[in-house]
Amino acid sequence: MRDSRLTEISGMVVTETGFVVVNDSADEEPRRRIFFLDAGCKVVRTVRYPSRPRDTEDLAMGADGTLWVADIGDNDRSRETVALWKLPPGGDRPVLHRMTYPDGPHDAEALLMAGDGRPIIVTKQGGTAGLYAATGDLKPGATVPLEQVGQVSLPRTTTSNPFSFLGRAVVTGAATAPDRRRVVLRTYADAFEFDVVDGDVVAALTGGTPRVVPLPDEPQGESITYSRDGRFLLTVSETADQPPGTKPTVLRYPVPAVAQAASSSAARHTPTPSAAARGASATEGRVRALIGAVGAVGLVLVVAGLLGMARSRRAGKR
């Protein structure tokens, strides 16, 4: 991406023709837009907000193509309300919907859509993240109470990232697969994919066991989405605090569930070898195993822990 306005990308979704992205709490007015990109990551359209957003942190797309912008960031935990901006397909004026937490302010950077179309906010705090959903229909001009509907604890990892253990603990983004049967949460270090049954995203996050996808050493990874076919996870980092000239780059990671399904399918369709072939294969296998064992003697793996806290100018937020 070469557009100078896209330096703090915090949310991204894939469309049929490209991407939609938003910046994170942009101080400069030209960056406070919803940006529509083509498949080559060139900006082809922008949509302005009718009033100034506070801290836009994520994007989600409903099954009907409605775009939801999560204005839910709260670094200082001082906001009385958070908000979602709703933009219908083809729309050019997002509508503001305000909400309030039942237990005081929270910083959050992740948004998911439940099977019934209800938005779910995932808070950023490390260790155990809260899941919050509206108690009723969102209405323009009204403030709707949120309720806590669950908590999610992510597995510990050792994935290298710029923010050490903190980067492996805080949720910075989320996405829903095109088939609505999987969702993913991300930190600065990893992605965690959960299976969803009957659209129950809360049950998936609170009771499921995620598949872990390392996202090592991304500069400041906050955005995540699925490819159109659901086979890959796509991510992009903020670049505002990176060396001059650094451009936002979309990275691609294979989805474990898809790879496992392909492997299982291939195994089911592999012809059964003859007895002679099995014997020859077994002998060859034993020889290879012996060679491999000899070659493996003395191999030592050293894993170095990355120490220190965030090195960005927004270390308090990250």
User: Per residue in 218-254, pLDDT tens?
Assistant: 999 999 999 999 999 999 998 888 888 788 899 999 9
Cα separation, 211 vs 195, in Å, equals 9
Domains in the chain with CATH codes:
9-264 (2.115.10)
Mean of the pLDDT values across residues 305-316? 37
Q: Name which of 174, 129, 173, 134 is nearest 153 in CA terms.
A: 129
Q: Which pLDDT score is estimated for 256?
A: 85
Residue with tokens 């894939």: 14
Mean of the pLDDT values across residues 121-146? 94
Of 74-78, 275-279, 295-299, the least confident? 295-299
Burial of 251 (0-12, 13-18, 19+ CB in 10 A): middle
User: Per residue in 171-191, pLDDT tens?
Assistant: 999 999 999 999 999 999 999
What is the dihedral sign for C-alpha 285, 290, 294, 300? Answer: positive
Determine the distance from the C-alpha atom of residue 112 to the mean position of all C-alpha atoms in its chain, rounded to a whole number: 10
User: Per residue in 158-169, pLDDT tens?
Assistant: 999 999 999 999
Contact 49, 271 (CB under 8 A): no
Both tokens of 159, joined, read 């994935």
Output the pTM of the full model: 0.81
